Structure 1
Amino acid sequence: MPFQTGHVLLIALISLIACCLIMALVWLWAKRIKNAGVVDVFWALNFPVITVITFFFSHGFEPRKILICGMFLLAELRLGIHLWQRVIGHLSEEEGRYQQLRKEWANQADRNFFIFFQFQAISNVILAVPFFIVTANTAPTISVLEYIGLAIWIIAFFGEMVADRQLAAFKRDPKNKGKVCDTGLWHYSRHPNYFFEWLTWMAYFVFALASPWGILAIISPAVILYLLTKVTGVPNNEEQNLRSKPDAYKKYQQTTSSFFPWFKKAV
């Protein structure tokens, strides 16, 4: 069966409707508990929903579908569970960046958060472009490019998991209160978790290059890189750290790469 653009667009539309409905329900919950931080959890958990929809509706080569769905499902469930564990213990305390938005938006906060939540749902579908493309590929063999994409994904998956665990362990130690995590992967990057998250999407792009229209999948790592380095990831995290531990974090900024892991700079 040849690549069917109309069918792929239909799957994307079904996924969009599902994600928008989920985010509307999450918004109602967030409004009730006054904690918009739950959007991060369900942003990650929307991807498994897209995975299930796409797996059952797409017409691609079955082993390829199982491989890419397994990669996608495992990575996003891990991220969703990690975020859930981080947020669920502080439901009564909204993260600083969302508190700041709530102050800035004032009386328009509820409306603006609804729009924000819906944009998160839209971003889920845009970022899933490589996934839609790959699962529509009917070629009966797994190509070298797809195996290379899998290898990159394995590195990214374990890299992000290790970075998250290293930071969580650092924060659990009372002796580290007011200090900056500068050990393990955090010695080489101020945001190794974000770097490996981006690398995961690069892996999907490389994997998709073996499929018709695969070049369109570049949109995912490009959007993720922009969001992480310019919008919600690095900038918000840096601002929060500079507020909570200004002197220590300024020193950390002077010596350590912001995003891509690299050796320390001498100061």
Structure 2
Amino acid sequence: MCADLAPGLLVNLLMTAVLSLGVQFLLWRISVKTGDATLADWWWGLGYGTIALVTYAHTAGVGVESRKLLITACALIWGVRLSAHLVMRSRADGWRELDRYENYRKQAAAAGIDADWYIYRKVFGIQGIMMWITSLPLQVAQFYLQPTELGPVAMIGLAVWAIGFFMEALCDWQLGRFKADPSNKGRVLDTGFWRYTRHPNYFGEALVWWGIFLIACDHWVGLFTIVSPLRMHHRMAYRQGIGWLEAKMSNLRPEYADYIRRTNRFYPWFPKRRGTAR
């Protein structure tokens, strides 16, 4: 193990793996009782904050406190805000199960397999594994013994994180406010950040994770955690269910088909009259 790393990293990785998978299994069992898999979404942000906090506690007395506090705070602030937003969104929707989970149940029924087990494999099981893998920067960075002060790469990472956090939070707020106005029923939100990309909140979340990765790159060991931002970026850019959702919305709202034609799917850019959205 690198001499610049405090001892205990492998133990921490094993501990958080058990935690991540164990919590997901428990949430799945609860979802079986309630018939609603939306719990998976509610836990998404909080799960990362929990892993960061557990690692912070495990590294008490070792590592560089300023870096540990920074990366843990980034995970907690982002995670608590996102989970709170998703819970409030569920409340506004009457606590009904999300469409993509209802769609999974239909897929399971059509295939003649158990819906609960299918959802565990498609949602909770995979999420437990991916949460652990993508939390690597949050864990590894807290074991650095050097450098003893935050460097320029970490500061750039904090700036990228802040931009992404602001963008995601603002876009979620814009969409929530738009949907809450009865006069907007059947209309498409194409103002603010939504003018430049169809999923600006997802783009903001991708930036959050690139920022966290850069904070972890305060030491060269952090480069080995690049699987985290790459996976999160791919998840946001090609999120499962987006195609199905956009096709559904295009059928319900002809205006949305035009919005798709002129607005990039993920990467922000100026609206176009012709051409293929990126």
Q: Same fold (TM over 0.5)?
A: yes
Distance apart, 1:226 and its partner CA: 1.7
Please give the TM-score of this superposition, normalised by the length of structure 1: 0.93
Distance 1:180 1:168 in 2: 13
Q: Which runs of 5+ in 1 are unaligned?
A: none
The equivalent of 1:124 in structure 2 is 131
TM-aligned CA distance change 1:6 to 1:234, over 3 Å: farther
TM-aligned CA distance change 1:229 to 1:23, over 3 Å: same
The equivalent of 2:157 in structure 1 is 149
- The answer to whether 1:137 aligns with 2:144 is yes
Distance apart, 1:10 and its partner CA: 1.6
Please give the TM-score of this superposition, normalised by the length of structure 2: 0.89
State the secondary structure of the residue aligned to 1:213: helix
- The answer to whether 1:100 aligns with 2:91 is no
Q: Deviations over 1:87-134 (max 9, x none)?
A: 244465222111111011124211122233021111111111111221
**Superposition pairs for residues 1-150 of structure 1, below 5 Å?**
2-4=3-5, 7-58=8-59, 59-90=62-93, 92-106=95-109, 107-115=113-121, 116-139=123-146, 140-150=148-158
- The answer to whether 1:192 aligns with 2:193 is no
Moved more, 142-151 or 216-225: 216-225
Distance 1:48 1:233 in 2: 25
Distance apart, 1:154 and its partner CA: 1.0
| Kept after mapping to 2: 8 A contact 1:153/1:203 | yes
| Kept after mapping to 2: 8 A contact 1:38/1:87 | no
CA RMSD of aligned residues (A): 1.9
TM-aligned CA distance change 1:127 to 1:70, over 3 Å: same
Distance 2:272 2:94 in 1: 38
Aligned residues: 266
| Kept after mapping to 2: 8 A contact 1:209/1:215 | yes
TM-aligned CA distance change 1:244 to 1:211, over 3 Å: farther
Distance 1:118 1:197 in 2: 22
**One-letter amino acid of the counterpart of residue 155, structure 2:** Y
**One-letter amino acid of the counterpart of residue 170, structure 1:** F
| Kept after mapping to 2: 8 A contact 1:36/1:94 | yes
Distance 1:233 1:105 in 2: 16
Distance 2:104 2:224 in 1: 33
**One-letter amino acid of the counterpart of residue 130, structure 1:** P
The equivalent of 1:208 in structure 2 is 216
TM-aligned CA distance change 1:238 to 1:48, over 3 Å: same
Q: Deviations over 1:34-93 (max 9, x none)?
A: 111221111221111101111011332011101111111101111111111112444652
Distance apart, 1:212 and its partner CA: 3.6
Distance apart, 1:241 and its partner CA: 2.4
Q: Structure 1 residue aligned with 2:265, among 235, 258, 266?
A: 258
Q: Structure 1 residue aligned with 2:247, among 239, 243, 247?
A: 239
TM-aligned CA distance change 1:68 to 1:109, over 3 Å: same
